[in-house]
Structure 1
Amino acid sequence: MPDTTKKQKLRFLPTGSALHRLSALLTLLLLIGVFAFTSPAFLSVNNGLTVLLQTSVIGLLAIGMTMVIITGGIDLSVGSVLALSGVIAGLLIKAGLPVAPAMVMGVVTGGVCGLMNGLIITKMRITPFVATLGMMMIARGIALQLTGAAPISRLGEAFGWLGNGALFRLVEMQDNGFPRVIFPGIPYPAILLVIMAILGAYLLQRRQIGRHIFSVGSNEEAARLSGVNVDRTNIWAYTASGALAGLAGMVLMSRLVTVQPNEGVMYELDAIAASVIGGASLMGGVGSISGSMIGAFIIGVLRNGLNMAGTSAFIQQIIIGIVVIGAVYIDQIRNRK
């Protein structure tokens, strides 16, 4: 009887991953409190929407990166794939294709790059670090070659709808003929991020592919002996990461209303940082979409708060680097235990 009671009590204790997510959430709340104290404008509606917009791209990349990291891999190509996807969409729009199909083709381009990563890793047996590093250079090179390293502009107002539109935006016309924004609305990129995060969490937690991803990351050989198609699982994870990078590219380029082939530099490190801060283990087998979203918002809030405090971009990189090292160190301690 006492043994049964002990088991029942243990069942309600949070796991290490849950504790990591909880600590990340507390860190996020602490950062919000500190920046709200140092700058009264930090908690304004407009600044909150700015944080949502800034975090949406990192969050989309982090969803795909989390899936890859759980398999025990890494994807260094997402920043370059983001840029290439935007370039393809921009060139197709210039060629006369409507905006929506062009954006879909941009996402497909990202998925194809991810598929190539998966095939190179599984069929050629090249380590994920080297394979995705190669794709990072290839995708960036193609983007720069196709555009001559020049931006693609004049893509039309419809191209900016996804990145700059908002749900429930309220605007009234004043007597002087100029519009006045009553409520800026919920940005479409933030809504898209929520939808993709829910879908990603559902796939990881409720579907067979999610169980396979965790089993491959926990022990690849044991997963293979259990009947899991390891190669197909890895290919799926990298394809999903590439497609989400393409989607992030559509959001970012739409916000700029211009395609910039140099965009996305270092974004892969932000995505990795968000996943690790949120509890994903670089050893594989551990991670969650909710944790990665918290990690993405930690990075977004840090950047926004430091910007409002007048901190230089170089100091921001140093601070975020220290945060990432701390998160990885905590992950190593957890793995040892």
Structure 2
Amino acid sequence: MASIDTAPKYAKQPIDRNDLIQKFAALAGLVLLVIAFSLANGAFHTMSNAVTIALQTSTIAFIGLGATLTIITAGIDLSLGSVLALAGVVSALSAQVGIPVPIAMLIGVLTGAVCGLFNGLVVTRLKLPPFIATLGMMMIARGVALQITGARPVSGLPESFGTLGGGSLFRIVEMAPNGFPKVIFPGIPYPVILMAILAVAVAVMLRKTSFGRHLYAIGSNEEAARLSGVKVDRVKTGAYILSGAMAGIAGIVLMSRLVTGQPNEGVAYELDAIAAAVIGGTSLAGGVGTISGTIIGAFIIGILRNGLNMNGVSFFIQMIIIGLVIIATVWIDQLRNRK
């Protein structure tokens, strides 16, 4: 009877004033970055650059969605970048041997989900800390990706393999007088459309389903959730499966953009994903987080990288700046948790 009596307490998540402040602060920071880079370089606010930013940000957003789910449970997934690479090369190898591209891409996503299942079982069955479990998977997935490809790119893929990553909706091109095609409107890239669909789907899942509410309950107080009838191990495992599947989606989209399978792709992408989630208000202590905040955080990182590139800032300085942003954001999160 305990599950019947106590379940309603998780029916709605209370709106925390500090969480709202952090999310709007992130949104304000995003707007300020756009203004600053637009003033610094006139080419920044062009349509083509906006499309480029959205396309580059989509990869961070895909794995950021998965990172958000695991962090809400007070866990973490450090294997996202390596799983991205493994899923991408498995999909590319499948297409290379003649498997239809849609099925090959589905195999890639399932590969990511299987890696997530492994993470979830290690965390829930072997009772290892998520940091250690996913750190191990980070090494395993990268090693498998390099082993099955011989550490070489997977090439010779069918032309249709590049449609998902390189295609766009409403693209308008006309022939210029000189005989070369002229892009009138670059269109909306398919990865950006997919990003929007997945963001809405995961946000609805978090707020409108019992699985989503249980994720928050576990992150807030795992023992209380268990006593309330929540199947903690099953829900946690589900979060890691979804996280792995999101990394798989990111992998097939990224490899589709490159039209090759690159086993060395995705290095340190998990840090961008975790940073995007935390910048958007997801607490590393668990129990707090929103998909809209993660998307804002992903665009902050994407715009920061793009703007610094356009203004000639070296890659090494970019690493320093983004590292400082991550440290500052986590520090703010810690201050919020103490309060």
Q: TM-score, normalised by structure 2?
A: 0.95
**Conservation of the 8 A alpha-carbon contact between 2:93 and 2:261:** no
1:285 to 284, 287, 290: 287
Q: How far apart, CA to CA, are the structure 2 residues paired with 1:30 and 1:13?
A: 26
Query: SS where residue 287 of structure 2 aligns?
Result: coil
Q: How far did residue 211 of structure 1 move?
A: 0.4
Q: 1: CA distance between counterparts of 2:129 and 2:108?
A: 27
Q: Corresponding residue for 2:84? A: 82
Match of 1:7 in 2: none
Alignment of 1:147-162 (within 5 A): 147-162=149-164
1:216 is aligned to 2:214: no
Report deviation, 1:313. 0.8
- Render the CA deviation track for 1:257-278: whole Å, top value 9, x for unaligned: 1110000000000000000111
Q: 2:335 is aligned with what amino acid?
A: I
Is 1:245 the counterpart of 2:257 in the alignment?
no
Partner of 1:333: 335
Unpaired runs of at least 5, structure 2: 1-13
Q: Is the CA contact 2:79–2:138 (under 8 Å) kept in the aligned structure 1?
A: yes
Counterpart of 2:112 in structure 1 is 110
Q: Counterpart in 2 of 1:141?
A: 143
Residue-by-residue CA offset, 1:81-113 (whole Å, 9 max, x unaligned)? 000001111111111101110000000000000
Note the C-alpha offset of 1:156: 2.0
Displacement of 1:175: 4.4
Match of 2:272 in 1: 270
Q: How does 1:31-110 map to 2 (within 5 A)?
A: 31-110=33-112
Give the deviation of 1:176 after TM superposition.
4.3
User: One-letter code of the match for 2:298?
Assistant: A
For residues 268-306 of structure 1, the C-alpha deviation after alignment (integer angstroms, 9 at most, x for no partner) is 000000001111111101111000000000000000000
1:162-210 CA distance string (max 9 Å, x none): 1110000011233444322111100111000000000010010111101
Judged with a 3 Å threshold, the aligned counterparts in structure 2 of structure 1 residues 328 and 197 are, in CA distance, closer, same or farther, namely: same
After TM superposition, give the deviation of residue 336 of structure 1 in Å: 1.2
**Partner residue, 2:297:** 295
Mapped partners of 1:174, 1:34: distance in 2: 34
Asked if the contact 2:68/2:282 (under 8 Å) is kept, the reply is yes
Name the CA distance, whole Å, in 2 between partners of 1:181 and 1:309.
25
Give the Å deviation of 1:307.
Answer: 0.2
SS in 2 for 1:41: coil
The question of whether the paired residues in 1 share the 8 Å contact of 2:276 and 2:295 is answered with: yes
Change (3 A) 1:13 1:104: closer
Partner residue of 1:6?
none
Can you list the C-alpha shifts for 1:135-162, whole angstroms capped at 9, x where unaligned?
Answer: 0000000000000000011212111101
Normalised to the residue count of structure 1, the TM-score between the two structures is 0.95
Q: Counterpart of 1:163?
A: 165
Distance in 2, matches of 1:250 and 1:17, equals: 33
Unpaired runs of at least 5, structure 1: 1-11
Find the aligned partners of 1:29 and 1:193 in 2 and give their Cα distance: 20
Q: Output the aligned Cα RMSD.
A: 1.1
Q: 1:201 aligns with which of 203, 218, 223?
A: 203
Instruction: Give the match's secondary structure for 1:150.
Output: coil
State the distance in 1 between where 2:191 and 2:210 align: 28
Secondary structure of 1:108's counterpart equals helix
For 1:120 and 1:335, the matched residues in 2 are separated by 28
Q: Which residue of 2 aligns with 1:123?
A: 125
2: distance between equivalents of 1:14 and 1:260? 42
Q: 1:21 aligns with which of 15, 23, 38?
A: 23
Q: Percent identity?
A: 61
For 1:180, what is the secondary structure of its paired residue? strand
Q: Distance in 1 between matches of 2:51 and 2:196?
A: 14
Q: Distance in 1 between matches of 2:140 and 2:82?
A: 8
Alignment-mate amino acid for residue 45 of structure 1: M
Q: Equivalent residue of 1:247, what SS?
A: helix
For 2:18 and 2:228, locate their aligned partners in 1 and report how far apart those are by CA, in whole Å. 25
